[in-house]
Homo-oligomer: A and B are copies of this chain.
Amino acid sequence: MSLLVTGSIGIDTVETPFGKRGDVIGGSAVYFSYAASFFTHVRLVGVVGEDCPKSMFDVFQGRDIDAGGLEVRRGSKTFRWHGSYVKDMNEAVSVQTDLNVLAERAPKIPEKFFDSRYVFLANTHPALQQEMLCCLKSPKLIVADTMNLWIQTERKELLKLLKQIHGLVLNDGEARLLTEKKNLIAAAKEVLKMGPKFVVIKKGEHGCMLCGERDVFVLPAFPAEKVIDPTGAGDSFAGGMMGYLATQGNFSGPTIKRALAFGTVLASYTIADFSLAGLQGTGREQIDERWNEFKQAMSF
């Protein structure tokens, strides 16, 4: 099943206690696509400026990713982010953020992608997220991510979006900000009242929580002794989760649980190296192996 993702594509500079990488590929749609492409065919929609070196997309070579929705906009500059985890590996300090082309009009979804059944709206302005949905013919599962900025500045648009999606993925701080509930289960239940059928709260090193109409499911992170660069962990998680779901065709409790575990495994590869290197260093076989190891470890 085809999985459509729209989100940011950027040039990152990242500092962690383990080193610094300048001008590496990043962005929510990039991590998501790479992670999801271990499972299914991915359709990528995004926009970069003409300054973006073509070689940056070499990472997609040989992957099951259709970059037909990738626009290189003339006269524009690519989104750039410089973040530092030197003080706290759990939360990046943004040293500099240049939205550049992300502050302009959204990229267009090519007509050949209109029939996408699985859709992930990675974090961007909620009005743009809604715009993306308009052209889709018969989406089966729409999941969105969001962030503090939109919760605080575009709440009205965000609430409109929430009525149009099946699932919302956000982190613990964002869930608390959106609902003003401290307890995460209470916060998740509040989100459900806003529209989505399920919500996944990402808790970084503490794993994730799924809350649906009937179930609450909590999963720890895959135990990692060495975290090199947490950038993209949440997007890789979402990519693993959605990629697996797109191969299943049902969203039963057990299926979603297994999907969260795949998301957890994908995130564990991402944080083990800078930029996409962690994901590039693995394969489907290793992913399945780690998933089984995780499943085994979690049973008692």
Contact of A182 among B89, B220, B258, B297 (CB under 8 A): B89
Least CB distance from A229 to B in Å reads: 14
Given A182-B89, A219-B220, A220-B219: A225 in contact with B299 (beta carbons within 8 A):
no
Contacts of A216 in B (CB 8 A): 223, 297
Complex Cα gap A215–B297 (Å): 9
The range of chain A's interface size is 20 to 34
Within 8 A of B (CB), among A275-300: 295, 297-300
Contact call B218/A300, Cβ cutoff below 8 A: no
The answer to whether the Cβ of A186 comes within 8 Å of any Cβ in the partner chain is yes
Given A221-B218, A254-B300: A206 in contact with B203 (beta carbons within 8 A):
yes
Contact call A225/B89, Cβ cutoff below 8 A: no
The answer to whether the Cβ of A207 comes within 8 Å of any Cβ in the partner chain is yes
Contacts of A1 in B (CB 8 A): none
Least CB distance from A216 to B in Å reads: 5
Contacts of A54 in B (CB 8 A): none
The answer to whether the Cβ of A57 comes within 8 Å of any Cβ in the partner chain is no
Contact call A223/B218, Cβ cutoff below 8 A: yes
Contact call A185/B220, Cβ cutoff below 8 A: no
- The 8 A CB mask of A211-241 against B (1 = contact, 0 = none) is 0000111111101111100000000000000
Least CB distance from A265 to B in Å reads: 12
